[in-house]
Amino acid sequence: MPDGPPDVGGKAMNVRPLGSRAGFDDNHRDVSTLPKARRGRRTDRAPRVTEEAIDKIRERIVSGAWGPGDRLPRESELAAELGLSRNSLREAVRALSQLRVLEVRQGDGTYVSSLEPDLLLESTGFISHLLLGDTEIELYEVRRILEAAAAALAAGRIDQLERSELAEILERMQRAKNVEELVEADVAFHAVIAKAAGNAVLASLLASLSTRTMRVRLWHGRAAEDALDETREEHRRIYEAIAAGDAELARAAATAHIASGERWLRAQLAPGRNG
Alpha carbons 8 and 26: distance in angstroms, whole number: 25
Greatest alpha-carbon span in the chain: 117
Q: Among 267, 254, 134, which Cα is nearest to 206's?
A: 254
Alpha carbons 78 and 57: distance in angstroms, whole number: 10
Residue count of the chain: 275
Q: How far apart are the first and last CA of the chain?
A: 94
pTM of the model: 0.66
Q: Among 69, 211, 224, 85, which Cα is nearest to 140's?
A: 211
pLDDT digits (tens, 9 = 90+) for 126-149: 666 666 677 878 888 899 999 999
Q: Spell 196-213 as b/e; 16+ CB within 10 A means b.
A: bbebeebbbbbbbbbbee
pLDDT digits (tens, 9 = 90+) for 50-74: 888 899 999 999 999 999 999 999 9
225 pLDDT higher than 90: no
CB 187 within 8 A of CB 212: yes
CB 152 within 8 A of CB 247: yes
CB 205 within 8 A of CB 124: yes
Alpha carbons 166 and 243: distance in angstroms, whole number: 9
Alpha carbons 8 and 134: distance in angstroms, whole number: 85
Alpha carbons 102 and 96: distance in angstroms, whole number: 6
Looking at residue 20, what is its pLDDT?
46
Instruction: List the domains of the chain with CATH numbers.
Output: 46-115 (1.10.10.10), 122-268 (1.20.120.530)
Q: Among 127, 18, 120, 141, which Cα is nearest to 68's?
A: 120
Mean pLDDT across 154-171: 97
Mean pLDDT across 8-29: 47
Better pLDDT: 34 or 72: 72
